[in-house]
Structures are given as structure tokens and as C-alpha cells.
Amino acid sequence: MEQIKEDLQHVYNLSVESFNKKEYSAFFRNIRPGIEYLSQFLIYDFFGNEDEAEDLINGDTSISKNREDNSYSISSYPANFKPTGRVFCELFPKAYFCKHRDVTSKYATEEKKRIKRGLDSCSAEMCRYYSIASEMGSHAGRSSMDVEVQARSCAAFFMGFLDYISSNRIASKSAIDFLGKFDKFVFGDVDNTSDYQNQIDNLIKEAEEKDAALLTAQKMQLEAEQGKLLAEQRTTEVELRNKELEDQIKQLQELLDSQTVIVDAHNENADENDVEDIEAITVTDGESSVETNKEYVTISSSHNFRRLLQGANDWDVTEETMDDDQLDLIEYTDDKSMLVAGCAGSGKSVIAMHKAEQLHKKGKDVILIAYTRSLSRFMRNGKADSTFRFFHHYLWKYKLKMPKADYIIVDEIQDFTKDEIQEFIDAARKHFLFFGDTAQSIYRQYGKQTMTIAQIGTMTGLNTLQLFNNYRLPRPVAKITQDYVGVDVQEYKEKVYQNKETELPHFIHFDNEQKQIEALLRLVKDNLGRNIGILLPNNPEVIRISQEFKDNDVECEFKYNKGENDFDYVDNLDFNTMLPKILTYHSAKGLQFDMVILPLYNGASDDESRKALYVAMTRTMHSLYVLYSTQTLLPPLDRVPTHLYLKE
């Protein structure tokens, strides 16, 4: 305990000294271990027993949560991993809850609930600043302004956090007195005291709002499932399907009858000098579950388009690193339609957007259409200012009645039917540009008669232009997906894969599904700050895993929809955050993540389920985890040679 106090005071005061000298990289190098020591110090203080605290800090014991009454207690079972780094930021509030059960009780007063929300929010912020400090300490790839802004924000938070501990008497009097002797950050002549407290108050408010929003979404999910079960009890399968079709027809007719649109000229992220026009289309019927607030924006400069293109997700391929095949497609003549095919990760979507930019700069009217809601939101993440119109397919067809343009550009063309493709062709006054993937037509299992790239080529009379290089997939994952999982895909060729990542995927066996879920939660907690996609075969499992995250106080975002009907959904995905995303294999089409986790793997025996598995596995740029509880690893992964993955 005394050594922790000595180390904490030393590195904290060093960070204050560095900050006050405006040596911000040094500040981050010192505040990072300071965060770890501060968390450990609070664990010692909350427990009041050094032996108990040391056992937890060393991983000899762990903290468990009782789901029935939400109470926390010390478990004699050791932790799966010895705690390190940011894990201590997550442990200190749980240590407090162990010793103050009245804070988590269902009978807790509003003041106690506020303390819990405050500690949870501060814990999350400390985790975030720990990650920022790890990155900023090297100053690599960051401007001095970036580092200064983050340093001032971090310093302000810790001043506010120490004040929060003191004013709410979270720690013991001796601990508060000790922390009060630390050196103080200097922000100039301005008194920032109120700013510190406001930052903490805002964190608590955000936590309250997020809890309410998630509960509402979960209620909608449960009501939808309840309605489905009741319907199945009341009617035969044929009658139920007929009712669903009737409801969909009624819903579409209501949309067609609605003519009211609201023009919203507000865009927080746009530069006033660059914006020509920003519009949002909104249906007046508030009862509809159909997406009714999709934007299309007007590009007025290539700089702002590039912001849209890159967004917060770092696209597979930037223009500066494109290969000759990709550049040739961008420079391909504007006087012809074209059909482009490429593997997952080859940069098809990026090229589609570059092509749209190029045509717009020449004064052409362009509409870009994406199939899934998730892909549509992911592609336009960053909200650039833009007359180039970017639509989710359902909105383009059913709400806007298929507006025409000089050029119609469609991504994931292999997921559309022949009639839908003909509608795109009819909407193009001059030419159409189709981008697709032969390996990702995954909607046939729902009865949708999609077309292959070869069939589309025959229908349109176009030769297929091929993209051969893959910029996303780590080579071991590419080898597995191309040779053992994909259906009608090209065999693995070393020279095609430009990602130098060589990390082997992890195939991990568990005794039962509950242990899988516990491991999943640990895996996510250990990798907070990474862009994580948790992909599942179907919607009920998305609901189940989302609820497990909620029950264990792990923030997440999710999308739940019914098969191919992407307009019937519950969705709180936000690609501007680094929270883990939970969605189905199908909803993940076109997306990419640093880490992909496939829990509850139960095999993929037929071609359509293998195609869906292929989509899920090819979403990763770095790490892939497959979790399963079956006695043996089921097909098609059972055929993968053991030297291509890590078996655990």
C-alpha cells in the first residue's frame, strides 16, 4: 500500500509538472501509469484490508455479480488473467460496490444511484484516457495541437475526478487528504473549477440517457419477440406468413400516401463556406418502424468528400495507395456503363465513392445506393457536406419513388433481384455503375432471387471488370476463407493479399455456452479501445448477447432486424464510437473491424450458411476469434489445417 502511494504521488506530480511546462507527450507518458496506480490505490482504500486488495490486484481472487439483486462480491475463484493496465480502471468501482451494497441495491436512494452512475462513468473515462495516453505518449502521427487538446481534456478530467471523490466522500478521509496534497494542474489565468465538475456531471447525465435509450430498445425487442410467439400460437405457419405480407403491403402504402418532407438545413460538422445544401427526408407517421430520417448531402469540395470517404473507420484503400487496377477503374471512361467485381476487402465501395466524386466534379448528377442500412451508415460516417445523393435502397425505392440521375452507382449489386437491377438501369439517364462480390450473395436462403455477377453481365451485356488485390484480410484468415469456407470463390493466392498482418485466428472451445459468454465479455473488456464486431448467425442471438452485455454493465451497440427486411429493425449502431457492435452476419456486409468475434459458432452445413459465415469472417482487418461449445469443431471449419489457427 505504501509503495503504491509513493509511486502514485511521484508519477502524478511528474505528469502535472510536464503539463504545466506544456510538455504534453511527457504528460501522457506519466499519466498512463498514474491512472493504473490511482485505480489500485482506490481498491486498497475501498477494501480497507490490504490482503483482500492484494489478492484482487494480483488476480488471486475476482469480483462476481449476482444477477438477481445486482450485488457485487469477492469470489474465491481467481481471475482468468492477471489484471494489468486499464483493467484496474474497471475494477475500482466494483471494489466500491462490494463494500457498499446499498449503492447497487434495487432499493437504493437516488443519491446512491447517482454515485453508482458517477463511478461507472468515471471508470469508463479513465479507460478511455488510458488508451489515449498509450497512443499520445509516442506523439506518432499526431499534430502538436491534437496532443495539447487531448492533454488539457485529460488533465481537466482528473482534476474533476479527484474533486468528485472528495465532495461525495467516495474514499476514506485519509485517502482524500492524501490525494489533496497532489500538485495542481495550471490552465492559465482561467478558473476551471466549474468546468471540472461540469465534465463529471455531463458524464453522469450521458450515462442516464444511454441507459434509458438501451432499455427502450430492449423493450421494443422483447415486445417484438413476444408478438411473434403469440402469433405463432394463434395461427398456422401459412396464416402467419400471409399476415406479415399484409402488414408490409399496408406499411408501404402508408409510405406512398405520405407526401410530407421536412427540409433540415442544419449540419453540425459542415464548414459553412463549403455547404450548398443538406437535406433530411422525414415521414410524418411517428408509428412507423421504417427508417424515416436518412440524409442525402451535397458535395461542394473534394476535401470534404475525402472526409466523408475516410470517416472514423479508415477505409480499406486510400487514393494514394491504390493499385493500377483500382486507378484504372476510377479513370475509366464516363461514356460507358460498367460492372465491377472484386473480393471482400478489395476496395469496391471506396472506388464507387471516388467515382461518384469524379463525376460530380464534372457537373454530373449522381446517386449512390447501398443495400443494407448498416453499410449505408458506415459508408457515410463522418457526415461530410455534399448534391451527390447517397441512399439506402429501401428509402430510394419506396419513399422517394426511384428518382433518376445521370449516373446511378450501386454497391453490393449481387444482393438485388433482376427487377431491382432493371429499376436501377431505368433510373440512369446516361449510365449505371454496378459494384459487386461473387462470394457474398447471401440472401437466397430467405427466398430472394438475387443474381450472380455473371448473370448480371449477361443481362446488361457488360464485360466484368475485375479487382484482384485484397487490402483488408490478414493472410491466414484469407487462406481459410478462400480455400475452406467460401462458395464459388477464387482459391487463395499469396500475391493477392496486401495486408501484412500474420496473426493466426483463434478457434476456442468451451464446455458450455455460458462459459463462452463469460469469455466473450472478458475478451471485449481486455480490448476496449479497439474497433470490435461481434457477429452472430441470427437475430435472437443478437438480442441474447446484447442483453448479456447489459446485465454485465458492458456498453455495446447492436442491430436487430428480420432477415432480408432491413426496414424492420431495432438499431442503435453509431460508427463514430468505439463501442463493440453486435449484429448478424448479414447486417455486417460491407463493414470492417479491427477485431471480429464469432460466438456461439454452430457450423455452416449448406452453401447459403457458408456464404454468410464467409461474410462474417472476412470483416476483420487484424484479429479473428471463433467461440464454440460443440463436442468437435463443426463444418466447414473442421477441415481447416491446424497450422492455420490457434486452437485453445
SS3 content of the chain, % helix, strand, coil (to 5): 50, 15, 35
Q: How confident is the model at residue 386 (pLDDT cuts 50, 70, 90)?
A: very low
For 321-363, what is each residue's pLDDT tens digit?
565 666 667 777 778 899 998 876 777 877 888 888 888 888 8
Q: Which of the pair, 138 or 114, is modelled with greater confidence?
A: 114
The pLDDT, as a whole number, for residue 633 is 93
CA distance 487 to 608: 8
pLDDT at 117 over 60: yes
pLDDT at 187 over 90: no
| Percent over 90 (pLDDT), the chain | 19
Angle between helices 513-526 and 539-551 (to 10 degrees): 60
Q: How confident is the model at residue 272 (pLDDT cuts 50, 70, 90)?
A: very low
Average pLDDT over residues 382-386: 37
Say how far residue 515 (Cα) sits from the centre of its chain: 24
CA distance 466 to 464: 6
* Residues 6 or more apart whose Cβ sits within 8 Å of residue 244: none
Q: How confident is the model at residue 311 (pLDDT cuts 50, 70, 90)?
A: very low
Full DSSP string of 258-269: ----------TT
- pLDDT, mean over the chain: 75
pLDDT at 188 over 70: no
Q: Which amino acid is at 350?
A: V
Average pLDDT over residues 292-300: 32
CA distance 355 to 361: 10
Domains within the chain, CATH numbers bracketed: 2-207 (no CATH), 259-467 (3.40.50.300), 475-647 (3.40.50.300)
CA distance 484 to 645: 13
pLDDT at 514 over 90: yes
Average pLDDT over residues 130-144: 61
- Most confident region among 66-70, 250-254, 368-372, 462-466 by mean pLDDT: 462-466
SS3 431: strand
- Most confident region among 180-194, 213-227, 382-396 by mean pLDDT: 180-194
For 203-222, what is each residue's pLDDT tens digit?
566 655 655 555 556 556 55
For 443-492, what is each residue's pLDDT tens digit?
555 556 888 888 999 999 998 888 877 767 788 888 898 889 988 776 66
Beta-bridge mates of residue 506 = 625, 646
Q: Which of the pair, 520 or 281, is modelled with greater confidence?
A: 520
Q: How confident is the model at residue 82 (pLDDT cuts 50, 70, 90)?
A: confident
The pLDDT, as a whole number, for residue 511 is 94
Q: Where are the alpha helices (DSSP H) in 293-336?
A: 302-310, 324-330
CA distance 601 to 613: 10
pLDDT at 569 over 50: no
CA distance 464 to 337: 11
For 234-245, what is each residue's pLDDT tens digit?
545 555 556 556
Q: Which of the pair, 591 or 501, is modelled with greater confidence?
A: 591
CA distance 584 to 619: 12
Q: Which of 299-308, 531-540, 601-610 has the lowest mean pLDDT?
A: 299-308
pLDDT at 319 over 60: no
Q: Which residue has the cell 461540469?
A: 198
Average pLDDT over residues 294-322: 40
| Percent over 70 (pLDDT), the chain | 66
The pLDDT, as a whole number, for residue 368 is 87
For 586-622, what is each residue's pLDDT tens digit?
888 778 888 999 999 999 988 888 989 998 998 898 8
Q: Cis peptide before 636, with omega less than 30 degrees from 0? A: yes
